[in-house]
Structure 1
Amino acid sequence: MTRSICLNADIGELPGEAGRALDRAILRQVSRCSIACGGHAGDTESMTQTLQMAQEFGVLAGAHPSYPDREGFGRSRNNVSAAELATSLKDQVSDLLRIAAATGTQVRHIKPHGALYNDAAKDAGLAGMVAALCAETGIPVLIGPPASQMERAARVSGLTYVAEGFADRAYEADLSLTPRNLPGAVFRDAESQNAQALSIALRHEVITRTGETVPLHVQTLCLHGDTPGAAENAARLRTVLEARGVTIRP
């Protein structure tokens, strides 16, 4: 049986030439990318360049909106009201769409960032807001965690949902990501990342932080662009997966 999986990365999050060089290296390895569009990181220059690089490498590009929290890198809602948040998210995605139209590129999906991603996975109201954002902006694909409120909202809204797993993050027993303030929440070593990627891609399961083996069915694996060694991680994980007969596809 032929196995395949999408590799995706969150990019456009680090500033300047070094940030774009990192994005370019990551884009050589992945099949989808989600581009920061101003809420937690990113500006007109980074959005323009990352969209163009994604097109150059044949990588499907999407929007990576977040709570408007540049100081905290999108890890706090900061008491933003629902109406203010909906406006901010639409502005973020619209900015990326505008740049895409000007550069002859396309925005293929939306994937929330950081705390918004985690909150919308459990909060039906936030999940509905994100799904409505897809519908309003004409973007038919939403990426998020499996068996979540986001998946339910996407199905109700008639969107295509791409369930996502993580090679470099620990999981809790309920399949939520381990909070970053707990030890071991982020896998920084190659052995742990390789093992989790293979477990998800080949056996459709993960071993949680507390030792349980839990089923996890996803169509895409995420590689965080802000994790130290991200470019090397992406290249190594692609090699490891392909060596086990897994085809990387969008």
Structure 2
Amino acid sequence: MSRKVDLVADLGEGFGPWRMGDDAQLLDILTSANIACGFHAGDPQIMDETVRACVERGVGIGAHPSFPDLQGFGRRDMGLTADEVRTDVLYQFGALHAIAAFHGVPVTHIAPHGRLGNLVAVREDYADVVASAARRLDPELIVLAQDGKLADAARAAGLRVGIVGIADRAYEDDGTLVPRSEPGAVIHDGEEIRRRTVRMVVDGVIESRNGTLIPVACDTVLVHGDTTGAVVLAQQIRVGLEEAGVEIAPLTDWLE
């Protein structure tokens, strides 16, 4: 049986008349979507449009909650308490859930965005409240996360976890991401990204920015929709994985 992996991108990341990325073309390549829920990007109309487009293509729908940081695109630490993180996640999930329910589909996964996504990997208090919220919202939810505190807390809560491999970001030796504020944090060379992604999925390793080979589990490959040339990059990644014998399929089809 061939190796299987999900291909996901962050979508719906616009606001009002402003749009980021080419969601329509990306959705023809992906198997899952992390949809912005209004706190770092997105609004009711954009969420509705994005969910409808996912339904038309059979793409899995996930909530992409963040810190309440519209101006900073969710990439700043807001200094929130764990309880504030919990209520903010519930609020954002609820908004997307209502729109998905209107279209007759479930929200199948949850994937914290930006700085929140970074912190739930290392802060036990944040990880615990996000996992607890997810478990109470829907015990069938899949939690997308890097290896770390959130993945551990979600498993302890009895939830399925999809470990995220990030195609266009540099890694530290400890498996965390290089902060975006540092040079080289985002990789732009398409061929390098394709090579790294295939190695990550097939061999379970990735080269850190210091040249160290580190083990990386990968159930879903994340392509950032706001990356320049994201559509071409996503297509290159998909072709590279399929040529390596990897089957691209939604997590709900195979993740145990």
1:121 is paired with a residue whose SS is coil
Inter-CA distance 17–76: structure 2 relative to 1 (3 Å threshold): closer
Residue in 1 aligned with 2:145?
144
For 1:72-94, what per-residue CA distance to the aligned partner results, in whole angstroms no more than 9, with x for missing partners?
A: 11112323333333222111110
For 1:51-105, what per-residue CA distance to the aligned partner results, in whole angstroms no more than 9, with x for missing partners?
A: 1111111111100000111111111232333333322211111000111112222
1:91-240 equivalences in 2 (<5 Å) = 91-138=91-138, 140-146=141-147, 148-240=148-240
Inter-CA distance 135–33: structure 2 relative to 1 (3 Å threshold): same
Indicate conservation of the 8 Å contact 1:66/1:74, yes or no: yes
Residue in 2 aligned with 1:249?
249
Unaligned residue ranges in structure 1 (runs of 5+): none
Deviates more, 1:73-82 or 1:105-114: 73-82
For 1:142-195, what per-residue CA distance to the aligned partner results, in whole angstroms no more than 9, with x for missing partners?
A: 00012x111110111110011111110000000000111111111111122111
Separation in structure 1 between the aligned mates of residue 20 and residue 121 of structure 2, nearest angstrom: 30
Indicate conservation of the 8 Å contact 1:63/1:109, yes or no: yes
What TM-score do you get using the length of structure 2 for normalisation? 0.93
Inter-CA distance 203–21: structure 2 relative to 1 (3 Å threshold): closer
Q: How high is the sequence identity, in percent, across the aligned residues? A: 38
1:191 is paired with a residue whose SS is helix
Q: Does 1:65 align with 2:65?
A: yes
Separation in structure 2 between the aligned mates of residue 18 and residue 24 of structure 1, nearest angstrom: 15
1:217 is paired with a residue whose SS is coil
Residue in 1 aligned with 2:48?
48
Indicate conservation of the 8 Å contact 2:21/2:230, yes or no: no
2:247 is paired with a residue whose SS is strand
Separation in structure 2 between the aligned mates of residue 67 and residue 20 of structure 1, nearest angstrom: 19
Residue in 1 aligned with 2:26?
26
Deviating above 3 A after TM superposition, structure 1's stretches of 4 or more consecutive aligned residues are: 15-21
Separation in structure 1 between the aligned mates of residue 28 and residue 20 of structure 2, nearest angstrom: 13
Count of aligned pairs:
249
User: Cα RMSD (Å) of the superposition?
Assistant: 1.6
Unaligned residue ranges in structure 2 (runs of 5+): 251-256
Matched residue type, 2:218: V
